[in-house]
Amino acid sequence: MAKIKFGTDGWRDIIAQNFTFENLTKVAIATAKFYKKHKKIKNGIVIGYDTRFLSKEFAEHVATVIANFGVKVLLSDGYCPTPAVSLAIPKFNCAGGVVITASHNPYKYNGYKLKADYGGPEEVENIAKVEKEANKLFKSELEKVKKSFEQLKEKGLIEVVNLRKIYIDDLKTKIDVEAIKNSGLKIVHDAMYGAGQKILTEIIPSATVIHNEFNPSFGGISPEPIAKNLGELIKLVPEKGFDVGLATDGDADRIGAVDEKGNFVDPQRVFAILLKYFYEDKGLRGDVVKTVSVGLMVDKLAQKYGLKVYELPVGFKHVATLMITKDIMIGGEESGGIGVKTHIPERDGLFLGLTICEMMVKRGKKLSEIVEELFAEIGPHFYKRVELHTTESHKQKVLGKLKKGLKEIAGYKVNNVLTIDGFKFFFDNGWLLVRASGTEPLLRFYCEADDPEKVDKVLDWIVNLK
C-alpha cells in the first residue's frame, strides 16, 4: 500500500484505494499523539467534513480514534466549510483541528487537512511530524482503538457542535449585510455541490443558489471554481440579469467570480480588487503576501500604497504562517484562496464573495466597472494556467532545460528568474511559471502578460518545448 503523503494542502488520496479507514486510523492516531502535547489540549480539537462520499463516516471514525486517546473532540453536526472549522478552533481555544475534505479534487478523492490552534493551516514541520508518525505505525497499535463513537459521546469525549451557525453568525458581524440586502443586488451563488451550500441564503435570503444539494459526484465536474467548470453560472448571470455570480469550491475556502456580462473574473483580478478595496475603502494597513503563482497586479498596487510584498512557494500554509508572525493585511494564492487580517488567517470563499458584493454596493459600481477601473490604474493584465499530462521522462527533460536557464521565451527576452518554487521567468510586461508535480508526470504552466495573445503564444511555446 502506498505511503500517506501530505501535499501543499493536506493528505489527499483516492477513496478505497489509499484513502481507507485503516489509513485514516493511522493518521488519526498520529494526530492524537501530536496534539496531546499541546498546551491547549484540555479544550480538545475541532473536526469538520465536506459533502464528499463517506466524509461524515470518515469524520466520525477520526473523532472516535482521537477520542480513544483521551482527547476531547468537538465534531461538526453536519457538513461545513473548512473556514468554519478554522474559525471554531480559536473560538473554543482548541489545540487544533481536522477537516475531512479533498477540497477541489475530483469526486473519487477524499482528504485530511490539519489546522493549527490559530485556525489556519498547521505549520509545515508539524504536518511532517504527523505524516512520519502515521507511516511508521504497526497494525497492533491500530487495535488499541476499542471504545465506540456512542460510548465516547456518552463519556463527553465527543461533543457534537453546530459549526455552521457559529460561522454564519460570525460572517454577519464582518460584512455589511444590511447594505447588501437594501441595495437590491441580484446575486447567484454556485455552491458546486460543496460544503458552502445553503449558507449564502442564510445571510442574504434573496440570493439565488445553484448546485445547492447533496451530490458526492459533483455532477461529474471537479468542484474547482475556474472558468472551465462554471459554464452554467457564466451563462446564467447575463441570461437572468444577475449583477454578480459567485462560486465556491468543494470545501468553500476558494472563490470564483463572474461579472454581470458573464465574464469570468479570475482570482488574480479578485486578489487585486480586494487589496484595493481593503486599503482604499476599509482603511486596512499592513503588508501583502502572495505565492509565486500570483501576478504583478498585486505588486503594482502594493508599490503604489508603499506596502511590502512577500513572495512564497505555493501553498496557503506558507501564507498563513507569515500572517500570524507579521503585520499582513492580505495574503493569498492564484487559486482563489485569500486571507484578510480582519477575519481569520485562512482562506474563506464565502467571506470573500460577500466582500465582493459589499464592495459593489459601497462603490456603486458593477463588477466589470471595478475591473476596468483597476486596469485604467495599473494597465491591462491577462492570465491563464494550463496543465500538461506527459511522461516522466519528458517532464524531467523539460525541467533539465529550465535548470540550465532560458535566454528567451517565445521570442521574448528573459529579464529575471525566480526559483523558490519551480521556475518563474520574467519578460517585459509578463512572466511564465513552470511547476512540476512531485507525485505524477504532470507539468503546470502559469502565464500573465499585458495581452491575451501574448499569454497564448507563451503557453503554446512552453507546452511544445521539446
Q: What is the three-state SS of the chain?
A: CCCCCEECCEEEEEECCCECHHHHHHHHHHHHHHHCCCCCHHHCEEEEECCCCCHHHHHHHHHHHHHCCCCCEEEECCCCCHHHHHHHHHHCCCCEEEEECCCCCCCCEEEEEEECCCCCECCHHHHHHHHHHHHHCCHHHHCCCCCCHHHHHHCCCEEEECHHHHHHHHHHHHCCHHHHHHHCCCEEEECCCCCCCCCHHHHCCCCEEECCCCCCCHHHCCCCCCHHHCHHHHHHHHHCCCCEEEEECCCCCCEEEECCCCCEECHHHHHHHHHHHHHHCCCCCCEEEEECCCCHHHHHHHHHHCCCEEEECCCHHHHHHHHHHCCEEEEECCCCCEEECCCCCCCCHHHHHHHHHHHHHHHCCCHHHHHHHHHHHHCCCEEEEEEEECCHHHHHHHHHHHHHCCCEECCEECCEEECCCCEEEEECCEEEEEEECCCCCEEEEEEEECCHHHHHHHHHHHHCCC
Q: Which among 55, 76, 86, 103 is annotated as catalytic?
A: 103
Please say whether the beta carbons of 408 and 344 come within 8 A: no
Please report, for residues 17, 46, 290, 348, the alpha-carbon distance to residue 169 in angstroms, rounded to integers and kept in the order given: 39, 18, 29, 15
335 catalytic per annotation:
no
Cite the active site residues.
Answer: 103
